[in-house]
Amino acid sequence: MDTLKSNALSVKIIAHRGASGEFPENSLLAFENAILQQADAIELDVHFHESSGQYVVMHDHYLPNESNNKRPIQSCTIDEILNYSLGQEQFITNLQQVLQCIAGRVPVNIELKSYNADSHVIDSELTALKSILEKYSKNFNLPSRDVIISSFNHKLLVHCKQLMPTYEYGALIAHLPINVIGLLTALPVNYLNVDISAVNSELVQSAQNIGIKVNVYTVDENYDIQRCIEYGVDGIFTNWPASIRQKLQTFK
């Protein structure tokens, strides 16, 4: 088997916000269908809603209203958030509901959408997250490697690792660092999750040479699939897990 074919068959398919090309992103329907489509893992986004102490599963930090004005979620009540329709009879949910849906059937990559620098808020956020993840791991008897926490907030990852040392961690970037080795050795991470617009073979090899796996987001186009296979990445985040699986299986 040639190298490219081997790379194509070994790359992990991570459902980006679930099977979000077909179903509302970050919805229970998108997550359930990602599992049915045999995704290797699921990625989802969470925000900590400070007044309720809940993690809500959504990408943006605001809610549009009927006039298309955008309200920051921190100024919304938790009921307003959880009653927000995503279409297809789906609503925003909290993290516990999503984890109950996934039920340990595939690994989960939880992206923390936190940019808060206040240590008290960070402590509150992470204490709540720890409680949720401990219950999830216990309920479904999960190995710690099946929970990956990622963020663009690299300082937050350091705090996470100190509080929750058994889980795996991923540093998100959307740029080509001058010194990727320096970046990665300064962080307690297992993965580098990089934007498709900022990935090349040198970046991938540099990370893998020090034991860091490289996942690329968001990979939906044939040209981008080809690049990722040639670079030998470990995983791709995609909105279309079923069709990308089919393309990888027929890759030559």
Task: For 77-104, write each residue's pLDDT tens digit.
Answer: 999 999 999 999 999 999 999 999 999 9
Q: d(Cα 135, Cα 137) in Å, to the nearest integer? A: 6
Using CB atoms within 10 Å of the CB of residue 51, give its burial: 0 to 12 exposed, 13 to 18 middle, 19+ buried: exposed
pLDDT in tens, 110-124: 999 988 777 777 888
pLDDT in tens, 179-220: 999 999 999 999 999 999 999 999 999 999 999 999 999 999
DSSP H helical ranges for the chain: 3-10, 28-36, 78-82, 95-102, 119-139, 154-163, 180-185, 201-209, 222-231, 241-249
Instruction: Give the predicted TM-score (pTM) of the model.
Output: 0.96
Q: What is the DSSP letter of 122?
A: H
Our CA angle for 240, 47, 83, nearest 5°, is 80
Asked if residue 229 lies in contact with residue 7, where contact means CB atoms within 8 angstroms, the answer is yes
Average pLDDT across the chain, whole number? 95
Q: d(Cα 133, Cα 129) in Å, to the nearest integer? A: 6
Q: What does the pLDDT read at residue 1?
A: 59
Q: Can you list the domains of the chain with their CATH numbers? A: 3-249 (3.20.20.190)
127: Cβ–Cβ under 8 A, 6 or more apart, which residues?
Answer: 163
* Distances from the Cα of 17 to the Cα of 25, 42, 131, 187, angstroms: 5, 7, 23, 25
Torsion 160-165-168-174 (CA) sign: positive
Q: What does the pLDDT read at residue 249?
A: 87
Q: Tokens for 249?
A: 């299986």
Asked if residue 37 lies in contact with residue 242, where contact means CB atoms within 8 angstroms, the answer is yes
Of 36, 42, 33, the closest CA to residue 12 belongs to 42
Q: What does the pLDDT read at residue 67?
A: 67
